């Protein structure tokens, strides 16, 4: 007795090559910064897969239409209808496309690692020169710069003076997949434990709520930090991002950090980043505004209604609803 499974009629109509998703040259996730940030925070690419299901709700459609036409031409229209789900499953089983990977291959995104160091506005210090020296040393130390890098001290001091109160960060252009640890998704204890910067990087002091700061290009670094997912961010998720402050710059060259699951005693500890808290606060401001109201303390002009100019001292713009004031 022949125990081989009998081949079904519709199987002859399944193409030998199946690629359900077509990603054209102009497609990328460049504008999906919140989605990319969600992937980093959740330590998985599933958020992109969910979006792909929304963007292509029936990717097998063209194949199904072609198969249906050929089977109807051969007088097998009823067979197609009866085997509809089986044919769909067969197409999915042969699909060799990778829409998530292809989209990420075409995506250029700026990332940063927040070093958990706030450098105050030196201008208001009673002794600006002494304060500038102190904070320059703090920044040098946090960046792992020592006597071999004394030549950078003047440039870092200038950055400290012009930072106007900002957070110390390291920026680079990179691929978020390098920072997804699938083992760590299942068990946070298996996530990355160190992040290492070796090469030339953009170092910056950035105030994401005021849109101010200063930067230092091509800073030679050779330093390791403890890894914290909360400190790893997509730059454009900030209210005022590095791209907003400095003419939408995209970093295409320079160093890119490496991550490791190994613990290293010499790795510098980083303080807690406030970026996630600032982002959460921005979402609350946005939610309140969409609900028809506004929030005192929200300095984003466009999230207030009926703002008028007050010409009495102190002059400035006033929101009549919450009392937010923008002084001239």
What pTM was estimated for this model as a whole? Answer: 0.82
Give the H or E element holding residue 212: strand 212-226
pLDDT of residue 58: 92
pLDDT of residue 3: 47
Contact between residue 120 and residue 135 where contact means Cβ atoms under 8 Å apart: yes
Cβ-proximal residues to 147 (8 Å cutoff; 6+ apart), any chain: none
Among residues 285, 278, 271, 287, which one has the least CA distance to residue 119? 271
Give the H or E element holding residue 285: helix 275-290
Q: Tell me the pLDDT tens digit for each residue of 80-104.
A: 999 999 999 999 999 999 999 999 9
Contact between residue 238 and residue 168 where contact means Cβ atoms under 8 Å apart: no
Mean pLDDT (whole number) for 141-160: 91
Contact between residue 170 and residue 216 where contact means Cβ atoms under 8 Å apart: no
Cβ-proximal residues to 318 (8 Å cutoff; 6+ apart), any chain: 307, 308, 309, 310, 324, 325, 326
Mean pLDDT computed over every residue of the chain: 90
Cα(174)–Cα(255) distance, integer angstroms: 9
Cα(221)–Cα(200) distance, integer angstroms: 6
Q: What is the CA radius of gyration of the chain?
A: 27
Is residue 257 helix, strand or coil?
coil
Report domain extents, the chain: 9-105, 109-276, 292-327
* Pairing label, strands 212-226, 232-234: unpaired
Among residues 263, 66, 100, 98, which one has the least CA distance to residue 180? 100
Band (326; pLDDT cuts 50, 70, 90): confident
Cα(95)–Cα(78) distance, integer angstroms: 25
Cα(172)–Cα(255) distance, integer angstroms: 7
Q: Distance of CA 293 to CAs 110, 285, 286, Å?
A: 33, 9, 10
Here the tokens at position 140 are 């040098």
Looking at the chain, how many residues does it have? 328
Q: Tell me the pLDDT tens digit for each residue of 47-70.
A: 999 999 899 989 999 999 999 999
Among residues 304, 307, 302, which one has the least CA distance to residue 318? 307
Is residue 203 helix, strand or coil?
strand
Is residue 206 helix, strand or coil?
strand
Among residues 312, 310, 328, which one has the least CA distance to residue 320? 310
Is residue 170 helix, strand or coil?
strand
Q: Distance of CA 326 to CAs 124, 262, 304, 309, Å?
A: 20, 49, 12, 9
pLDDT of residue 276: 65
Mean pLDDT (whole number) for 5-10: 81
Q: Tell me the pLDDT tens digit for each residue of 69-81.
A: 999 999 999 999 9
How many Å is the maximal CA-CA distance in the chain? 100
List residues bridging with 308 in a β-sheet. 318
Here the tokens at position 229 are 């997912």
């Amino acid at each position: 007795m022949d125990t081989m499974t009998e081949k079904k009629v519709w199987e002859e109509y399944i193409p030998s090559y199946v690629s359900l998703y077509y990603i054209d040259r102009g497609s990328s996730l460049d504008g999906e910064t919140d989605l990319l940030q969600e992937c980093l925070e959740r330590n998985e690419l599933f958020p992109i897969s969910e979006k792909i299901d929304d963007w292509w709700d029936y990717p097998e459609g063209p194949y199904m239409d072609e198969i249906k036409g050929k089977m109807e031409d051969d007088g097998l229209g009823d067979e197609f209808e009866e085997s509809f789900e089986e044919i769909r499953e067969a197409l999915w089983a042969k699909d060799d496309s990778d829409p998530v990977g292809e989209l990420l291959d075409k995506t250029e995104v700026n990332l940063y690692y927040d070093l958990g160091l706030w450098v105050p506005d030196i201008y208001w210090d009673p002794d600006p020169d002494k304060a500038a020296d102190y904070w320059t040393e703090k920044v040098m130390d946090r960046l792992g710069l020592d006597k071999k890098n004394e030549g950078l001290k003047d440039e870092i001091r200038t950055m400290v003076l012009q930072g106007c109160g900002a957070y110390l960060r390291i920026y680079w252009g990179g691929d978020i997949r390098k920072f997804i640890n699938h083992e760590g998704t299942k068990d946070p204890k298996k996530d990355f434990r160190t992040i290492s910067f070796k090469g030339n990087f953009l170092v910056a002091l950035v105030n994401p709520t005021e849109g101010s700061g200063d930067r230092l290009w091509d800073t030679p670094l050779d330093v390791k930090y403890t890894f914290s997912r909360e400190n790893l961010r997509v730059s454009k998720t900030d209210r005022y991002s590095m791209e907003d402050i400095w003419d939408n710059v995209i970093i295409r060259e320079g160093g890119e950090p490496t991550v490791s699951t190994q613990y290293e005693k010499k790795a510098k500890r980083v303080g807690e980043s406030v970026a996630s808290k600032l982002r959460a606060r921005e979402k609350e401001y946005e939610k309140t505004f969409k609900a028809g109201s506004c929030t005192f303390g929200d300095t984003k002009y466009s999230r207030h209604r009926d703002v008028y100019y007050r010409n009495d001292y102190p002059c400035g713009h006033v929101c009549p609803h919450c009392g937010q004031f923008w002084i001239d």
